[in-house]
Structure 1
Amino acid sequence: MAEITASMVKELREATGLGMMECKKALVETNGDAKAAEELLRIKSGAKASKAASRVTAEGVIGSYLAADGKIGAVAEVNCETDFVAKNDDFMAFAKNVAETVAKNNPADIDALLGMKLANGVGTVEEDRKALVMKLGENLTVRRVERYETSTGRLSTYLHGNKIGVMINYEGGDEALGKDLAMHIAASKPKSVDASGVNPEDIETERRIAIEKAKESGKPEAMLEKIAEGTVQKFLKEVTLLGQVFVKAEDGK
Structure 2
Amino acid sequence: MITASQISALRTSTGAGMMDCKAALEEAGGDSEKAIDILRKKGVLKAAKRADKIAAEGATKIKIAGNRAVILELNSETDFVAQGDDFVKLADEVATDLLAKNPANLDVALASGINDKLTALTGKIGEKIALRRFQVVEKSDGEAFGDYVHMGGKISVLTILTGTTDSALAREIGMQVAASNPRATRRDEVDASILEKEKEVYVVQLKAQNKPENIIENIVKGKMEKFYSEACLLEQPFIKDEEKSVQKFLDSKGPGITVKTFYRFELGEGIEKVVKDFAAEVAEQMA
TM-score by length of 2: 0.64
Map of 2:144 onto structure 1: 154
2:239 aligned with 1:239: no
2:130 aligned with 1:132: no
Spell out, residue by residue over 1:106-131, the C-alpha distance to the aligned partner (whole angstroms, 9 max, x if none). Answer: 12333433354xxxxxxx43343233
Map of 1:22 onto structure 2: none
Spell out, residue by residue over 1:120-147, the C-alpha distance to the aligned partner (whole angstroms, 9 max, x if none). Answer: xxxx433432332233221111122110
1:43 deviation in Å?
5.9
2:206 aligned with 1:208: no
Q: Is the 8 A contact 1:154 1:169 kept in 2?
A: yes
Single out whichever of 44-53 and 72-81 deviates more from structure 2.
Answer: 44-53
2:163 aligned with 1:172: yes
**Identity, % of aligned positions:** 35
Rate the CA distance shift 1:249–1:52 in 2: closer, same or farther, 3 A.
same
Q: Is the 8 A contact 2:47 2:123 kept in 1?
A: yes
Give the letter aligned to residue 58 of structure 1: A
Provide the alpha-carbon RMSD of the alignment: 2.4
Question: Structure 1 CA distance, aligned partners of 2:130 and 2:191?
Answer: 32
Question: Structure 2 CA distance, aligned partners of 1:93 and 1:114?
Answer: 17
1:42 deviation in Å?
10
What secondary structure, in the 3-state scheme, does the structure 2 residue paired with 1:218 have?
coil
What secondary structure, in the 3-state scheme, does the structure 1 residue paired with 2:235 have?
coil
What secondary structure, in the 3-state scheme, does the structure 2 residue paired with 1:235 have?
helix
1:163 deviation in Å?
2.2
Looking at secondary structure, tell me which structure has more strand per residue.
2
Spell out, residue by residue over 1:28-86, the C-alpha distance to the aligned partner (whole angstroms, 9 max, x if none). Answer: xxxxxxxxxxxx8996133332232232222221122111x3x1000121111112112
Question: Structure 1 CA distance, aligned partners of 2:125 and 2:239?
Answer: 38
Map of 2:80 onto structure 1: 84
Rate the CA distance shift 1:43–1:155 in 2: closer, same or farther, 3 A.
farther
Q: Name structure 2 gaps, 5 residues minimum.
A: 1-37, 246-287
Q: Is the 8 A contact 1:77 1:145 kept in 2?
A: yes
Map of 1:53 onto structure 2: 51
Q: Is the 8 A contact 1:62 1:78 kept in 2?
A: yes
Question: Structure 2 CA distance, aligned partners of 1:41 and 1:216?
Answer: 65
Q: Name structure 1 gaps, 5 residues minimum.
A: 1-39, 117-123
Map of 1:187 onto structure 2: 179
2:105 aligned with 1:109: yes
1:190 deviation in Å?
0.9
Q: Is the 8 A contact 1:206 1:231 kept in 2?
A: no
Map of 1:14 onto structure 2: none
2:135 aligned with 1:143: no
Question: Structure 2 CA distance, aligned partners of 1:243 and 1:228?
Answer: 18
Question: Structure 1 CA distance, aligned partners of 2:134 and 2:237?
Answer: 30
Question: Structure 1 CA distance, aligned partners of 2:94 and 2:233?
Answer: 29
Question: Structure 2 CA distance, aligned partners of 1:72 and 1:183?
Answer: 20
What secondary structure, in the 3-state scheme, does the structure 2 residue paired with 1:57 have?
coil
What secondary structure, in the 3-state scheme, does the structure 1 residue paired with 2:236 have?
coil
Rate the CA distance shift 1:227–1:64 in 2: closer, same or farther, 3 A.
same
Give the letter aligned to residue 147 of structure 2: T
Give the letter aligned to residue 42 of structure 2: K
Question: Structure 2 CA distance, aligned partners of 1:235 and 1:60?
Answer: 33
Single out whichever of 236-245 and 129-138 deviates more from structure 2.
Answer: 129-138
